[in-house]
Amino acid sequence: MDKTVEERALTLGGYIAEEGATVRQAAQKFGISKSTVHKDVTGRLSRLNPALYRQVREILDRNKSERHLRGGLATREKYRHLRNH
């Protein structure tokens, strides 16, 4: 991803807002670390585009409140798969 950090923050913010993506999904999509995604969308994006930042913040807050559910589903699928094989 050969962009300036500002362009990268805007791109990441747009992706998360459009897709409702998690930080992990955005990191994987763009080939960067979760820490970089988080720093870009929570720090830089708030300065660059406050309206987009608010959208992204809502999604990140929702994802954080749901993460225990996704983890439980993943564990259930893991053991279901093991049981069937």
Overall number of domains in the chain: 1
When pLDDT is cut at 50, 70 and 90, the band that residue 76 belongs to is confident
Angle at 16 between CA 15 and CA 18, to 5 degrees: 65
**Over 90: is that where the pLDDT of 58 sits?**
yes
Question: How many angstroms separate the Cα of 46 from the Cα of each of 2, 14, 40, 57, 78?
Answer: 21, 13, 9, 9, 38
Helix (H, G, I), strand (E, B) or coil at 6: helix
Range of the structural domain that residue 67 is part of: 5-84
8 A C-beta contact, residue 48 and residue 6: yes
**Over 60: is that where the pLDDT of 2 sits?**
no
The residue that leads in pLDDT, 1 or 72, is: 72
Q: pTM of this prediction?
A: 0.76
The one-letter amino acid code at 30 reads F
The residue that leads in pLDDT, 79 or 12, is: 12
Mean pLDDT value across residues 18-47: 95
